[in-house]
Structure 1
């Protein structure tokens, strides 16, 4: 997997047991996201640092460094999406990568830290398909407002998260595991979530069902039937 060195902002590649501890970002995609190609060509003279999405990378690296970590993973720029083989491997590995992370920073770009906790439910983060596994898989998830003010962690916000997502509080606390719950139950957690691409409604659930599957973008809703 590709990881960002939080001190140099360079991408470095690791495999298997050689992978160092890392932080991971959970967020919703927006305009001007930074790509893998952008990061490989990153210099003080390129326009990458002016992209809106670069701020998320910079803040993720800052938080990781403050947590004593040298590396961070951000999906926008740590996957070479021009390679179908790398994209397939990444999506099939995604749940494990979040599960293995030392900490996951959930960035709610549309949530004001001055708002009441009950207003969390309105955040777009809770409506997206990919963020479901990003909430469940990591043991340590901390939530951050649009201004990067810490809102709490998965334990502090347990009751609120359960109310918003209908995911059992025991699972969010880590006192039960995903396989304790039926397929129908797991599927219900994703029922109201959306993805930009139709195929991703299936692909974003691979980890929750412990399935590996080839990716066929263009197959439309057939991806869900294959799942």
Structure 2
């Protein structure tokens, strides 16, 4: 697993931790912009990317982790070499566990602007929660496991204002609706994003379609249940 650190000069660096020898870390959940706006693994390796829109998001994240007394943090766009299909597959199968093991998960809501749209009165959820619940973050399939897996999930506005955590912000009915109307760029990801929820590891075959991917997932689930009953 690779983890980021933020130096005093706001430069990002990557450290790799093999096996289970992983320090305490925080993890970022966010909605990704277009590829040219997000800071990538190659950007970090080559010491570039400060001119990208996504860099400010990572700076906020690193600074917030430091405020919480944590040095290391994980961001999917930076910590996975997505040019390697083998690494991407391993990361997808490990994602739920990585979020589950994180000390904290920070959710950055780039489309919830507290200052411009609803004021800074955070004492009353009635003023900003409707905007919060309409965030694009709630429509993406990958963010479902990122909401469920971590013990601590904190939500921040575009300005970095802490809005609350998942225990204080959601009712039971809202919790039940988390899986509805979620979208993904690749059809198969609607299935692959569920692997961690069912504790399943399986190969990723992009191009086979959502239906075939679901059939494979169902097969893996049935085999796991059968093995548990023997």
Task: Please list, as runs of the form range in 1=range in 2, the aligned pairs for 1:10-159 lying within 5 A after superposition.
Answer: 10-31=13-34, 32-42=37-47, 46=48, 48-113=49-114, 114=118, 115-159=127-171
Specify which of 198, 201, 214 is matched with residue 209 of structure 1.
198
- Give the ranges of 4+ consecutive aligned residues of structure 1 lying more than 3 Å apart after TM superposition: 162-165
1:84 Cα deviation after fit: 1.0
Secondary structure of 2:76 counterpart: coil
**Can you give the 5+ residue segments of structure 2 that lack an aligned partner in the other structure?**
119-126, 218-230
Hey, what's the Cα distance between the residues in 1 that align with 2:108 and 2:214? 28
Hey, what's the Cα distance between the residues in 2 that align with 1:23 and 1:200? 24
Name the count of aligned residue pairs: 200
1:155 Cα deviation after fit: 1.8
Q: Which residue of structure 2 lines up, in the alignment, with residue 171 of structure 1?
A: none
1:15 Cα deviation after fit: 2.2
Alignment RMSD: 1.4
Q: Which residue of structure 2 lines up, in the alignment, with residue 224 of structure 1?
A: 214
Comparing 66-75 with 9-18, which one deviates more in the overlay?
9-18
Contact between 1:24 and 1:98, CA under 8 Å: does it hold in 2? yes
1:216 Cα deviation after fit: 1.0
Secondary structure of 1:3 counterpart: strand
Hey, what's the Cα distance between the residues in 2 that align with 1:165 and 1:125? 14
1:164 Cα deviation after fit: 3.6
**Can you give the 5+ residue segments of structure 1 that lack an aligned partner in the other structure?**
168-188
Comparing 5-14 with 98-107, which one deviates more in the overlay?
5-14
Contact between 1:126 and 1:165, CA under 8 Å: does it hold in 2? no
Hey, what's the Cα distance between the residues in 1 that align with 2:208 and 2:87? 19
1:6 Cα deviation after fit: 2.5
1:201 Cα deviation after fit: 0.5
1:165 Cα deviation after fit: 4.2
Over residues 49-73 of structure 1, what are the superposed CA-to-partner deviations in whole Å (9 max), with x where a residue is unaligned? 0101111111111111111111000
Specify which of 167, 175, 193 is matched with residue 182 of structure 2.
193
1:163 Cα deviation after fit: 4.0
Over residues 73-104 of structure 1, what are the superposed CA-to-partner deviations in whole Å (9 max), with x where a residue is unaligned? 00011100111111111000000000000110
1:212 Cα deviation after fit: 0.5
Bigger Rg, which one: 2
Q: Which residue of structure 2 lines up, in the alignment, with residue 6 of structure 1?
A: 6
